[in-house]
Structure 1
Amino acid sequence: MQRFNGTITGTERARMFRQKPVTVWLTGLSGAGKSTIAYELERRLISLGHACYVLDGDNVRHGLASDLGFSREDRHENIRRVAHVAQLMNDAGLIVITALISPMHEDRAMAREIIGSDRFVETYLAASVDDCARRDPKGLYAKARSGVIGSFTGVSAPYEAPAHPELRVETASQSKEESVAGIFEYLLEGFLDRS
C-alpha cells in the first residue's frame, strides 16, 4: 500500500508548536510512578504552551487494545499499537508521553524502531519490586503474591530493565516534582524552544 504525504513539513509543525516532536517512553514496574509522572509532565508542558498528550497503558486498554490480554504475545501487540499511534502523533508535531510497563527489551526496541531513534527517549523509572509493592496503589502486588493475578510483571512475569536508557529516574528516592524536573530539563536541552 502506498504511503501518502501531506504538504506540511515537520519543520513547519516544529516552528508552529515551538518544539521538536518526541516520544518520552516511560517504562518501569507497576507502581513505579509512570502515570503520575506522565500526567505531571504533561501539565508542565501544557502550561508552557507545548502540544503534548499522554498515552497511558491503562487507558489504551479501554479502547485501542481492549481486545488484548496480558500474554507475552498480547503485550507485544499492545506495544506495537501504541508505538504506531505515538509515531503518528509525533508526525503531527506533538510530544507524546507513554506510560506503559513495557517489560521486555525487544518490545521497547521495536517501539524505538517504529517511532524513530531521534524521537524516542527511553525513560526508566527505577524502583524495586519491594518499593513498588509498598506503594501498591492498586493492590495488585498483594493479589499477584496471593495468586489471584497470574503473569504479573515483577512477581510472576519478568521485567527486563533498560541497560542504556536515555534517562534513568530514581522514583524510589526522588519526589514526583524532582522526577518531572529531570525529564523536563532533558527535553529543554534538545526538543523545546526556549523562547
Structure 2
Amino acid sequence: MTLSKEITWHQALVTKQERREKLGHHSFVIWFTGLSGSGKSTLANEISRSLFDEGILNYVLDGDNIRHGLNKDLHFSEEDRKENIRRIGETSKLLVDAGVAVITAFISPYEEDRKLVRSLLEMNEFIEVFVDCSLSECENRDPKGLYEKARNGKIKDFTGVDAPYEKPLNPEIKVDTERESINQSVKKILKYLKNKNMI
C-alpha cells in the first residue's frame, strides 16, 4: 500500500527530545518475545512497576489486551499476526515520540516482523528481550489452557504447536524463566537499562 499524494507529514512544534527533557528520562521500547506461557506479561508488568516507582512514565502493550480493542479485527493467521505486530510497532513509535517508555508483551513469532519494528525506531530505542522457556515447560504451565485447546484441535495456528516460533538471533537481553526467578530476570533487565543510561 502506498501513501496518497494528498497526505503530507505535519511537523510538530514540540520535539521528542523536548518531551524527554520535560519528563526527565529516555523513551524506548522493551520488546518481550517468547512462547505463550513463557512469562512475558508477568515480566512486562513487573518492569512497568519498577520503572513507575522510579518516576519513569511507561505503558504496557499486552498481546491479549490489544486484541480487545485496537486489533480486535485480527485473527491468528500468519498475515493477521504480521499486521498485529506492524500496528503495535507503529503504536510503540508514537509513544516513544511522546517520551514514554513502552513495554510490550507479544509472542511475535517471526524474526522479520520484529526486525520491522526495530527499523521504525532510532538507535537505543528498541530493546529485544527473548523470554526463553521450553515448549514443554510452557505447556506444563498453560495458564490460559491454550495449549490443551490447540492439542485438541480447538485452536488452529497456535505458536509452538502447529505454527512456528523463530527465536531471536541477537536479542539485547535473554532471560531464562525456566531457570531464573522473576526477580532475577527483572534485575537483569533493569541492570541493562541502567548500564545503557536509559534509566
Work out whether residues 18 and 192 of structure 1, in 8 Å CA contact, stay in contact via their aligned partners in 2: no
Which 10-residue stretch deviates more, 168-177 or 25-34? 168-177
CA distance in structure 1 between the partners assigned to 2:21 and 2:129 by the alignment = 26
Residue 153 (structure 1) shift: 0.2
Describe how 1:1-195 pairs up with structure 2 within 5 A. Answer: 1-193=7-199
Structure 1 unmatched runs, 5+: none
Q: What stretches of structure 1 move > 4 A for 4+ residues in a row? A: none
Identity in percent: 47
One-letter amino acid of the counterpart of residue 17, structure 1 = L
Report the 3-state secondary structure (helix = DSSP H, G, I; strand = E; otherwise coil) of the residue aligned with 2:88: helix
TM superposition shift of 1:17: 2.0
- C-alpha change, 1:191 and 1:69, in structure 2 (3 Å) is farther
Three-state SS of the structure 1 residue aligned to 2:115 is helix
Alpha-carbon deviation of 1:117? 4.3
Aligned-CA RMSD value: 1.2
Shift of 1:11: 2.4
Q: In structure 1, the residue corresponding to 2:43 is in which secondary structure?
A: helix
Give the length in aligned residue pairs.
193
**Structure 2, unpaired ranges of 5+:** 1-6
TM-score by length of 2: 0.93
1:118 alignment partner, SS class: coil
CA contact (8 A) 1:126 1:172 kept: yes
Q: Tell me the distance in 1 between the aligned counterparts of 2:198 and 2:174.
A: 20
Deviation at 1:146, TM superposition (A): 1.7
